[in-house]
Structure 1
């Protein structure tokens, strides 16, 4: 299918520390114009499904202002620059948020988080062979580390307790790879 929509103009509405918000003026197939929102995530991000020696996943519980509540997520964060390798970002975030390092990191999947209005991408990695490191939280960051069996995490997805998209996708991708035998244990 070839689309017949054309962007006529993009106007910067707000410039933030990691996000820019634009108004896009679009010409529709019927000739009418429409104003659409576009959010540009400048750096991209990485996340990591961390699996401890006992098979438990290391998740982080933290407050998220957009939801005004705590969430349970896999460790993740924005790249330091647009050129930073996402694997470097994922391993850094693992140690910063959980205090663990990994001897084995492999890519699980790539995500586009909200394609209707945002260009953010997150590369999700699997980290195994964990060794203790030092937790290095950002200023103002408060994180509780939660160790949980895979089956419990999957159950929390299906009952709606875990809703974060990168976390849902990462955990289910890991479960799928385990079930199909296509993963290093």
Structure 2
């Protein structure tokens, strides 16, 4: 199978979203070992944000924004996207008093072609951000979703975008090949 466009998730305004309950949950979400944490019995605590800052209700969706490096969803959406994401990472239930929510944390894949990407680094050499992505296509064969060592973002191919096309809480922006 050939490698098609690669996308990153983008939160959709005017839709319900999830928020970490405490600072420890937020720190865990940002941590490099998130996948190993959720593979254990530990559960990230979240709350549903259903109103905007003026108190107006936000639109419902089965795909909810939490962060750019995970997908969060209801159990129904998880069941629908499972055939595409099976074997691509870890699905973990979230702890919430507001509903039955799940998080998908993709596997790590060393697929970024740094020589052909536009990478900005700190003086230490660590990657600050990637302005333009280029990937090694041979490393993405049969990869529907993945993370790269240089950044925490979740990347996904067109199969994931298509499987989630009926949900409006999160959109997808194509990052490779450059649109």
- TM-score (structure 2 length as normaliser): 0.24
Structure richer in strand, relative to its length: 1
